[in-house]
A and B are shown apart, each in its own frame.
Chain A
């Protein structure tokens, strides 16, 4: 089986026997037996650490959970600096979690949450920060200050948490380069290995923002039309 891996600006082809194996298995095999210089990140091998996100045939995947096909073309994530081969710099994307003030504040002792409350943000708390969503996001590709999908999902996780008593600061923070900048294109949802929809979370944050008295700046500047530039109703 042949696969090509993007290294610097060029695709380099490798041949190996990897029927039924994962991409991570193949990368490890290539590194340890064919080319010691191949660089990639990995960790848990079981889709929870978020280290091995990359693109195969122009689609974001976790290398540890992607089954290799002959002819696959492997590339690093987009919209971030490539450090070497398939390794990208995740510092900036990570920094948006802090920028979005995605945490519980103030902390709450002995909150009585029931089974239904648990389900409210169970999915959002499955996020592994692999960064696939930032790679797929067309808004982030043109606005590098856009808080982006996983940080906004994290904001919604805490906003929707019954233990949160005051999220005013967070809601205020995500008005700029945040919820209104998203085009609701849904690319983030399609590539998420944990089946999280940041798009849906952003819509919910928009609704919360409206309830807190904020409005869509593009709507405020328009001539009273009831729709955002993507055609969806704006709150």
Chain B
């Protein structure tokens, strides 16, 4: 195996694959590592759509897209970055169309668009309710066409630094063999996804969204910002936390309480709707999504996945019954600080996707802007990392594999007195209660103390499975350590931000 490349990308979701394609086009050699397989990432779960002011379904403009995004961000977004993203949106969708994404279409042979919350127009381009899946798979096919090397089931342990402190590669665990590998590169792009699973089962996300890239960036000394901004999606299935897409409300679905009353504007931004639902739940109400009036034909055409999921996980058919829902953690706005070249505060380290913070979502992300972000800034990260890598060729560098972290070695000595799976669930529930939709100063302090204490107990939570090959018990423990580091950043950010803002609501 050639363990050197110009650009090394950690993560093979939509952001990582877009970065890979663009780095490759720039003439850089590229290698992508993923802890899963490329088509299994969180991107495949995005349903609603990707925003671009194409104006295919009524009047729209880039300016309106910018205004909606900024409004939802509550002053916490960078206007220049938002302007860039919204302006590039049209090119991004045209590019996705050109490589074969199977978007839904109108009778007039245009890409179909629908309205999501907080949008002044029908702006979200979609592929039925499989938008993320179809974008991700098409990006994957494109990477195959370009011969991009993607290595599956490699878990990031640490970043390598050269004597000047520049990031020059990564230390990873090959999950299958249990061996540690060193992958050197001139530039590293982190595209490892968000951290919604710090809320454990109170999240719509894949079990893989454990904030690994952010935790490792933090431990390596990169700046991480706005971690307290966590978006709670209003409509997850009550028992399983499986997402029911915002498009269900965009297409006309209602939110009802136990009395059958509507209690909020269903298409307000997600933070507002989630709080309205939370308030009702606090009053003792059960909350339901009602799409019965849309009719079976419409539901099967526009929301087929929603019907399937509700039947399977809640045992109800939304054509005839109300869907029980509650808000759960869905998207994490905070992440690794990057400049307008997607470069982190560490030289040689770039970031894109949900783990990065390009400051386009601010305190609350608009539906349809996350798929947009990964394509627009995935491209920027790929282009800029390739440029940096080519300009900073490492042939003349001495090969020093400095990794600052000995945890992986240390854990072999850890005792097995405390069950980390129990603690993982406890952290998730505790964070949902205390660092969730509505926060209180004293509860935040309390949560911070609990996390600090758990961190000191890690040495008693050693893994019981001692096998070398494909040890998921070990991987989940390493993820749990990352979860705790991310939790610490989230709760300290929440304590420092004394005033409510978007998704961070403090009373």
Quick one: which of A51, A84, A109, A163 contacts B94, CB cutoff 8 A?
A: A109
Chain B 99-118 interface mask (CB, 8 Å, partner A; 1/0): 11011111111101000000
Q: For A115, what are the chain B residues with a Cβ–Cβ distance below 8 Å?
A: 104-107, 112
Report the separation of the CA atoms of residues A131 and B145 in the bound assembly, to the nearest whole angstrom.
21
Say which residue of B41, B99, B242, B422 sits within 8 Å of A45 (CB atoms): B242
Interface size on A, residues (CB 8 A): 58
Q: How far is the CB of A86 from chain B (nearest CB, A)?
A: 10
With A102-B144, A110-B94, A128-B133 as known contacts, state yes or no: A83 contacts B45, CB within 8 Å.
Answer: no
Q: Is A166 an interface residue (CB 8 A)?
A: no
Of B128, B142, B472, most A-chain CB atoms within 10 Å: B472
Q: Which residues of A contact B312 (CB under 8 A)?
A: 22, 47, 65
A117 CB-CB contact with B under 8 Å: yes
Decide if B133 touches A48 in the complex (CB within 8 Å). yes
Q: Which B residues from 1 to 41 make CB contacts under 8 A with A? A: 36-37, 39-41
Residues of B within 8 A of A184 (CB): none
> CB of A211 within 8 A of chain B?
no
Q: Which of B163-171, B354-362, B405-413, B462-470 contacts A (4 or more CB under 8 A)?
A: B462-470
A16 to chain B, nearest CB (A): 15
The CA-CA distance from A206 to B419 in the complex, in Å, is 56
- Which stretch, A35-43, A171-179, A197-205, A222-230, touches the partner chain B? A35-43
Complex Cα gap A110–B142 (Å): 18
A111 contacts across to B, CB distance below 8 A: 97-98
B309 & A127 in contact (Cβ 8 Å cutoff): no
Instruction: Pick the contact of A158: B94, B100, B472 (CB < 8 A).
Output: B100
CB-defined contacts of A43 to chain B, threshold 8 Å: 36, 40, 206-208
**B99 and A36 contact, CB distance less than 8 A:** no
In the complex, chain A residues whose CB is within 8 Å of the CB of B76 = none
Asked if A48 contacts B45 (CB within 8 A), the reply is: yes
A105-B145, A158-B100 are known contacts. Are A114 and B39 too (CB-CB below 8 A)?
A: no
Do B37 and A90 touch (CB < 8 A)?
Answer: yes
Secondary structure of the A side of the interface? loop
Q: When the two chains form their complex, are residues B465 and A114 in contact, meaning their CB atoms are under 8 A apart?
A: no
Comparing A118-126, A139-147, A212-220, the segment that makes contact with chain B is A118-126
Please tell me if the beta carbons of B44 and A117 are within 8 angstroms of each other in the complex. Answer: no
Give the shortest distance, in Å, between A84 (CB) and chain B (any CB): 4
Note all chain A residues with C-beta closer than 8 A to B140: 97
With CB as the reference atom, state the residue of chain B lying closest to A90.
B37
Selected from A45, A104, A109, the residue in CB contact (under 8 A) with B100 is A104
Residues of chain B with a CB closer than 8 A to A161's CB: 100, 102
B109, B315, B472: which contacts A39 (Cβ < 8 A)? B472
Evaluate whether A125 and B102 lie within 8 angstroms (CB atoms) in the complex, with A37-B467, A46-B309 already known.
Answer: yes
Residues of B in contact with A, size category? 35 or more
A44 touches B206 (CB 8 A): yes
A46 to B207 CA separation, bound complex (whole angstroms): 11
Complex contacts, B431 vs chain A, CB 8 Å: none
- Min CB distance B193 to A, Å, is 11
- A83 contacts B176, C-beta separation under 8 Å: yes
B240 within 8 A of A: yes
Contact of A118 among B42, B98, B102, B145 (CB under 8 A): B102
Partner of B473, one of A22, A36, A127, A154: A36
Asked if B263 lies at the interface with its beta carbon under 8 angstroms from chain A, I say no
With contacts A115-B106, A126-B130 taken as known, whether A50 is within 8 angstroms of B39 at the C-beta atoms is: yes
Encode contact with A along B117-155: 1 for CB under 8 Å, 0 otherwise: 000000000011010011001001110110000001000
A51 touches B467 (CB 8 A): no
CB closest chain-A residue, reference B107: A115
Asked whether, in the complex, the Cβ of B104 is within 8 Å of the Cβ of A84, the reply is no
Complex-state Cα separation, A83 to B99, whole angstroms:
34
Q: Which of A45, A103, A163 contacts B206 (CB 8 A)?
A: A45
Contact of A49 among B40, B103, B109, B152 (CB under 8 A): B40
A40, closest chain B residue (CB): B472
B66-100 near A? 1/0 per residue, CB < 8 Å: 00000000000000000000000000001001111
Which of A32, A43, A121, A157 has the most chain B CB atoms closer than 10 A to its own CB?
A43
| B8–chain A nearest beta-carbon distance, Å | 19
Out of A37, A39, A46, A154, which one reaches B242, CB within 8 Å?
A46
- Picked from B127, B144, B152, B206, the residue with its CB within 8 Å of the CB of A97 is B144
Does chain A have a CB within 8 A of B243? yes
User: Do A128 and B39 contact each other (CB < 8 Å), given the known contacts A98-B144, A103-B100, A122-B102?
Assistant: yes
Q: Which residues of A contact B (CB under 8 A)?
A: 20, 22, 31-33, 36-37, 39-51, 65, 83-84, 87, 89-91, 94, 97-98, 101-105, 107-115, 117-118, 121-122, 125-129, 154, 157-158, 161, 163
Supplied contacts A20-B315, A49-B45, 15 more A-B pairs, CB within 8 Å: A31-B473, A33-B421, A42-B207, A44-B45, A46-B243, A97-B144, A108-B98, A113-B105, A114-B106, A115-B107, A115-B112, A117-B109, A118-B104, A125-B102, A163-B100
A selection of 12 A-B contacts at a CB cut-off of 8 Å is A36-B421, A45-B207, A103-B145, A104-B98, A107-B98, A112-B110, A114-B107, A115-B107, A117-B109, A125-B134, A129-B37, A154-B141
The 3 lowest CB-CB distance pairs between A and B, nearest first, are A104-B100, A32-B421, A84-B470
